[in-house]
Chains A and B, each alone.
Chain A
Amino acid sequence: AQTVTQSQPEMSVQEAETVTLSCTYDTSESNYYLFWYKQPPSRQMILVIRQEAYKQQNATENRFSVNFQKAAKSFSLKISDSQLGDTAMYFCAFSTTDSWGKLQFGAGTQVVVTP
């Protein structure tokens, strides 16, 4: 079974600064998908970024980028130029390629952006 660990329950960052969220996972699969989802106070889950394990290039979406270290089974999320609207719970998630998208989630990291 796969497990996903987020070791930072909460992080605080000032506007315009950068924050990095950590995520580690455990799997014996060679190919899989990794995700970061954002859950703002509205509680709507929003996909932030997706990484395919066989792609060595780190995914980037505007101010969000990942550092994917396959050998270390690490998948961190960097939020650059933080904005007040980035305040949310961030979840790391894992999916195998043959599981019809069943997601295994970490416990989440609460990010608070302060003025």
Chain B
Amino acid sequence: DGGITQSPKYLFRKEGQNVTLSCEQNLNHDAMYWYRQDPGQGLRLIYYSQIVNDFQKGDIAEGYSVSREKKESFPLTVTSAQKNPTAFYLCASSSAAVAKNIQYFGAGTRLSVL
């Protein structure tokens, strides 16, 4: 089945620790995105990538880093510089060739601070 897989479902971070959230897609989509969701707010864009080895900052990139070494993978690292990392993180992908601007989402990762 084609889709977007995010892992783990739940993640806990200790003070000063970097953690990495995984996002894999087998939809052959070109673009991938990371969003953060906080209670009472909509999704906010952290980073996005249109092509392998290239990515751009979104609205709230500070304290986060990404890589895009393979088309199907777009991991997000929450660094120790992110002082308020507790949130729900969603990964998405889209294909300009199929239906531009329609994004398909993974099931999300819930990150909490110990």
**Chain A interface residues (CB < 8 Å from chain B):** 4, 6, 9, 33, 35, 42-47, 50, 91, 93, 95, 97, 99-103, 105-108
A35 CA to B107 CA, complexed, in Å: 19
Smallest CB-CB A-B distances: 8 pairs: A105-B42, A45-B105, A101-B101, A101-B94, A105-B43, A95-B101, A33-B101, A107-B42
B1 to chain A, nearest CB (A): 14
A103 CA to B40 CA, complexed, in Å: 17
A104 CA to B14 CA, complexed, in Å: 31
B43 to chain A, nearest CB (A): 5
Judged by a CB distance under 8 angstroms, whether B96 is at the interface is: yes
Pull 28 A–B residue pairs with CB atoms less than 8 Å apart, ordered by A: A4-B42, A6-B42, A9-B40, A42-B107, A43-B88, A43-B107, A44-B108, A45-B92, A45-B105, A46-B105, A47-B103, A50-B101, A93-B42, A97-B100, A97-B101, A100-B48, A100-B50, A100-B94, A101-B100, A101-B102, A102-B33, A102-B45, A103-B43, A105-B43, A106-B42, A107-B42, A108-B41, A108-B42
